[in-house]
Amino acid sequence: MQRFTELVVAAVLLAGLYATMAYGLGLIYGVLRVVNLNHGGIIMAGAYVGWLLHEKFGIDPYLSIPAVVAVSFVLGIAIYRGLVRHLPRGPAGAVQSLLLLFGVWLVLRNAAYLLFTGNDQTIRTEYSTRSVAAFGLALSVNRVAVFGIAVLTLVVLHLFLTRTFTGKAIRAVAQNADSCTLVGVDVERIYSLTFGIGTALAGLAGLLGASLFSFNPSYGSGDLLKSFVIVVLGGLGSVMGTAAAALILALVEVFAILALPSYLTGAVGFVLLVLVLVLRPGGLFGHRVLG
Amino acid sequence: MKLLPHWVSRPALAALVAALAIGAVLPKVLGWSVYSQNQVTETLLFVAAALAWNWMGGYLGQVSFGHSAMFGLGGFISARLLLALHLPFWIAWIVGGLVAAGYALVWGHPTLRLRGPYFSIATIGVGEATRLVMTYWEDLTGGSSGLSLPITPGLKSELYWWALALMGAVIAGSYALRKSTLGLGLLAIKSDVDAAADVGISPTLMQDIVLLLSGFTVGVCGAFYASYQNFIEPGDMFGFDRSISFVLMAVIGGVGTIIGPAFGAVVFVMLRQYLIGSYPQLYLGIYGVLLIVVILFEPLGMMGLFFRIARRFGLLRPEVEATLEAKAAVGGAAADPGAREGGAP
């Protein structure tokens, strides 16, 4: 029973991080109909920016959140304005933007190899190994903090999308871009803003992930697939759906450790991705992602 | 008596036979060194693999990032057969190809219901899962230390003609797939799955056929590669870089055409050789830049460039060009059904 609780709590704490990164991917897809294959690249970039700030300037990873979010936001806007915007919209552009963003990912990975070598890096702080007691368990301070920040981010994002004018405009553009143009919404501005918010979430997820796990320039490819599983499972646009799907994925991953030999646990996410795409292409919670 | 189906153009057939005949005597005529002959062998092999990828990525409009799974499986099955049973290598290749085709059907049949980006992302999952499992399945792949094949003296130079034959067969196959009824069906599926199904084409059946053919051919290419290298290891055979290389060859050359991916493979193999020699730390980024530049400025790759030049000199009739572009376009009109129906959050 003790072990069971431990695993469930571990899964819940992990799910916060998963939901943050998946929401970034889902938001961009929901509004722009573009699968950001560079999601993993931004996650990796976020991890390295945080690492650099910690290593060179001694800034605590949690204090560097604004900087990392700002950097990945600007990076996302630059990618949208410079590249994605020039592709045809809609069906014809779907595969093209996939390949284009894949190219951007390759470039980012190569840049990271050149700048930071291929070695594994970690962000280690003095509280990395500390833990707090709760539910009769010892919880890592880092994991609890990451969970808290992830939940806070999702709440803020939800409020932004439902309560502010810009947030409502984003949701309106997702529903019908042409009508938005008619009523005076600057659709192009909303697109680049959305892309920026999506990548900012990816960057934040990268930084949070980097304070838990080690990373190298190919970090993020697994997270891209996990994000995709969650988006497909949870449907678009709903924070609750995303959170529930993130929890399901985290539970499956954590409990797979019990059932499978350790080297196979890495494959669980990939297998789940294929299963979800094939069995529930409409998502679990009714928001159809696929046509 | 009719010897050939009506869609076979005699000049094209004659050109292919002539090109293969010239290719067959070329090493002797030009007196190639062992090194250059091996380079050409490898190039021909990847022309075949790129064309087989293009059957899925170009003809069907389903971009696969997971073809390394079949390449690796073909290679390792064939290598195991050669090591255990000492079969003639071409039998081992065919068995390797068949196993790869079977595996392709296992993962492809369910995932091919997905279109466009969804299929592509599912294939990333398939490729990575296969790589992970294979890296730890030491009984088949020898784990991270890989497998060494028995060395047959003189085999490597003999492989040049085998590569030429393989490539010839794959080019003929590409032509047949394009021109036959099946090929027209594929074009219809690529343009609009639902409309194709409405006029009596079975997308499931046709996609499975293409999947089997593509998987088999890529598997044979992997098996060939194993014989050619004499040493294979899962990280290289099943690696994500391997899958990307097929995508890049076809995209650089011109997805959906026959000449495009073939030229793309030639350029890719030469470029990789040069980059690994001169800038090993930059090759990933250069692939990325190439991909960005091609998609942004010329989605049809080198073929698109060729169309452009031909148009400039008035060599291309507009209606010919229109058909060519429709066949070549990256991703079909139905690549993203979600966008058409506007399934909004």
The pLDDT tens digits for A266-284 are 778 777 877 777 777 665 5
The residue extents of the domains of chain B are: 31-297
CB-based contact A91 B299, cutoff 8 Å: no
Residues of A whose CB is below 8 A from B296: 83, 86-87, 100
Select, from the ranges A68-72, A223-227, B289-293, the one with the highest average predicted confidence (pLDDT): A68-72
The verdict on residue A288 lying in a domain is no
Q: Nearest CB to A102: which of B129, B291, B299?
A: B291
The pTM (predicted TM-score) of the whole model is 0.84
Residues of B whose CB is below 8 A from A271: 125, 129
pLDDT surpasses 70 at A90: no
| B344 vs A166: which has the higher pLDDT | A166
Share above pLDDT 70 across residues of chain B, in percent, rounded to a whole number: 90
Report pLDDT digits (tens) over B152-201.
Answer: 777 778 888 899 999 999 999 998 888 888 888 888 888 888 888 888 88
Question: Average pLDDT over chain B, rounded to whole?
Answer: 83
Give the pLDDT confidence score for residue B339 in this predicted structure: 36
pLDDT surpasses 60 at A49: yes
**A99, B117 in Cβ contact below 8 A?**
no
- The boundaries of the domain holding residue A157 are 22-221
Q: Nearest CB to A98: which of B114, B117, B345?
A: B117
Residue A97 to chain B, least CA–CA distance (Å): 8
CB-based contact A106 B288, cutoff 8 Å: yes
CA atoms within 13 A on the CB side of B303: 27
Closest CA in chain A for residue B250: A99
Share above pLDDT 90 across residues of chain B, in percent, rounded to a whole number: 22
Q: Name residues whose C-beta falls within 8 Å of residue A261's C-beta, 6 or more positions apart in sequence.
A: none
Architecture of the domain defined by B31-297: Orthogonal Bundle (1.10)
Report pLDDT digits (tens) over B105-163.
Answer: 998 888 888 877 778 888 888 888 888 888 888 888 887 788 888 777 777 788 888 99
Give the pLDDT confidence score for residue B338 in this predicted structure: 36
Give the pLDDT confidence score for residue A289 in this predicted structure: 41
> Mean pLDDT throughout B21-43?
83
Give the pLDDT confidence score for residue B151 in this predicted structure: 77
> Mean pLDDT throughout A66-83?
94
**B332, B192 in Cβ contact below 8 A?**
yes
| B313 vs B102: which has the higher pLDDT | B102
CA atoms within 13 A on the CB side of B88: 3
Closest CA in chain B for residue A274: B122
Residues of B whose CB is below 8 A from A86: 296
pLDDT surpasses 60 at B66: yes
Q: Nearest CB to B295: which of A99, A111, A235?
A: A99
| A260 vs B247: which has the higher pLDDT | B247
The verdict on residue A113 lying in a domain is yes
The verdict on residue A252 lying in a domain is no
Q: Which residue, among A100, A104, A105, has the nearest Cα to A86 in the 3D structure?
A: A100
Give the pLDDT confidence score for residue B76 in this predicted structure: 93
Give the pLDDT confidence score for residue A71 in this predicted structure: 95
The verdict on residue A14 lying in a domain is no
Residues of B whose CB is below 8 A from A238: 345
Per DSSP, which regions of B71-207 are E strands? 147-148
CB-based contact A263 B132, cutoff 8 Å: yes
Residues of B whose CB is below 8 A from A236: 343-345
**B345, A236 in Cβ contact below 8 A?**
yes
Name the band, by pLDDT with cuts 50, 70 and 90, for residue B2: low
> Mean pLDDT throughout A46-62?
91
Q: Is B295 on the interface with A (CB under 8 A)?
A: yes
**What is the Cα–Cα distance from A34 to A238, expressed in whole angstroms?**
18
Counted domains in chain A? 1
Report pLDDT digits (tens) over A121-165.
Answer: 888 887 777 888 777 777 888 889 999 999 999 999 989 988 999
Characterize the bridge pairing of strands A131-134 and B147-148.
unpaired
